[in-house]
Structure 1
Amino acid sequence: MPSLLDSPSSRQLQVQGLQLGHGAWQLCRDWSHAWTPGLHLLCGGDGAGKSSLLRALAGAQPPRAGTVGWSDRALMPGDVFWVDPRFPQQQGATTGTPLQWAVQQARACPRWDAAQWQVHIAQWQLQADVAKPWHALSTGTARKLWMAAALSSGADLVLIDEPVAGLDRPSIAYLRQALAQRVQGAQWVLVAHFDDLQGLPWDSVLDLEDLPQ
């Protein structure tokens, strides 16, 4: 599998002819879009379909029609780092301890950055939490641990859903700093949120209300 450093500079993350929805609800129809590397916002309120779009990009929710992939090859499961906050057990983030889970992620992610993991753990003051069982952690603490892993994973595509849920102001301030630093990298970091997180330097902002119906 090509590494991130070997990827062509022209590579894009693409959706083509995408139709997403379930039952009578529909997010989009015949929608095509492309993202270049960088920090991207998927913006919308409650029920707008942000999580559905992330699940489709992660390969966890098959579309009604259309495709998701790289411009030069198919999108593989190993290309993506994503923890669904509604169903974290699907990524193994509910059993054992966060430290055990992080060891598993390091083995699964060829470009896992152990130093970055330690930085995020320290900045979010999670040193005492990594050895606790998941069920003993608050929603905000679990979310910070998932994001620490996401930002340390080295995955080509990093998906983050509703990042500030359960976070206090200092934690949000560090999140904004950590995300802003990702702009200089060659990853695709897609964040689903209801606003622009106080004007982060997004490379693109996609309002889900503007998707074709």
Structure 2
Amino acid sequence: MCDEEGECKTDFLRLLAAELPYAAGNLTLLGVAQHVDVSAYRQQVFWIEPSATEYDEFTVEGFFSWQASRYAGFDQTVLLQLIEGLALEPHLFKQIQMLSSGTRRKVWIAAAFASGAALTLLDDPLAALDKSSALFVLSRMAALAQDGQRAMVVGDYQAPANVPLAARIDLGG
């Protein structure tokens, strides 16, 4: 999903995450209608706004443990691969508030990919990442797209390079 900076992609992602009310229609994920059981719907969706501060007191390791308790399909083996691929090992025992914006984003992305959530929502996933981390994230996105078992909606100003897309939505006027 593409739009220019400052447009409405984040609000659209928040709507899909059941954080904003919708005016018409229904959101249903794996047979769970958001308007019927918002809690069960949210358990199938991974979403963290990049600027989130509610996890600042967690250590990175504690944050991953908490995410593992939230998602039944959370995969510890995948998480270990992501920790290595995103060079997060030196940060595991740091509080999230101590991390740079790029490292925070890598923590959110690692949790997202490991979550096993039916729907993963990512807002500007490559922003503030170093080149090797950005390439690693793109390779993981491509692998998830090829697997076809989970849905991912990526909000950015352009479509991710070399990632097969099911659809592209342009929100800009």
Give the SS at the match of 2:91: coil
TM-score, structure 2 normalization: 0.90
Give the SS at the match of 1:172: helix
Give the SS at the match of 2:25: strand
Q: Which runs of 5+ in 1 are unaligned?
A: 1-41
Q: Distance in 2 between matches of 1:88 and 1:67?
A: 29
Aligned position for 1:82: 47
State the 4+ residue runs in structure 1 displaced beyond 6 angstroms.
none
Give the SS at the match of 2:92: coil
Q: Distance in 2 between matches of 1:135 and 1:147?
A: 16
Aligned position for 1:193: 156
Letter of the 1:125 counterpart: A
The correspondence of residues 135-146 of structure 1 with structure 2, limited to 5 A, is 135-146=97-108
Q: Distance in 2 between matches of 1:123 and 1:70?
A: 30
Give the SS at the match of 2:122: strand
Q: Distance in 2 between matches of 1:52 and 1:43?
A: 12
Aligned position for 2:27: 68
Letter of the 1:70 counterpart: L
Asked which structure has the greater CA Rg, the reply is 1
Choose the corresponding residue for 1:161, options 110, 123, 140.
123
The superposition leaves residues 24-52 of structure 1 with CA deviations (integer Å, 9 ceiling, x where unpaired) of xxxxxxxxxxxxxxxxxx11111220000
Q: Distance in 1 between matches of 2:58 and 2:110?
A: 17
The superposition leaves residues 148-185 of structure 1 with CA deviations (integer Å, 9 ceiling, x where unpaired) of 00000011111111101111111111011010000113
Higher share in helix: 2
Give the SS at the match of 2:160: coil
1:66 Cα offset (Å): 3.4
Q: Does 1:118 align with 2:80?
A: yes
1:88 Cα offset (Å): 4.1
Give the SS at the match of 1:191: strand
The correspondence of residues 9-28 of structure 1 with structure 2, limited to 5 A, is none
Aligned residues: 166
Q: Distance in 2 between matches of 1:64 and 1:154?
A: 29
Higher share in strand: 1
Give the SS at the match of 1:64: coil
TM-score, structure 1 normalization: 0.74
Aligned position for 1:13: none
Q: Distance in 2 between matches of 1:131 and 1:156?
A: 29
Give the SS at the match of 1:147: helix
1:130 Cα offset (Å): 1.4
Alpha-carbon contact 2:26-2:33 (below 8 Å) kept: no
Q: Distance in 1 between matches of 2:122 and 2:133?
A: 15
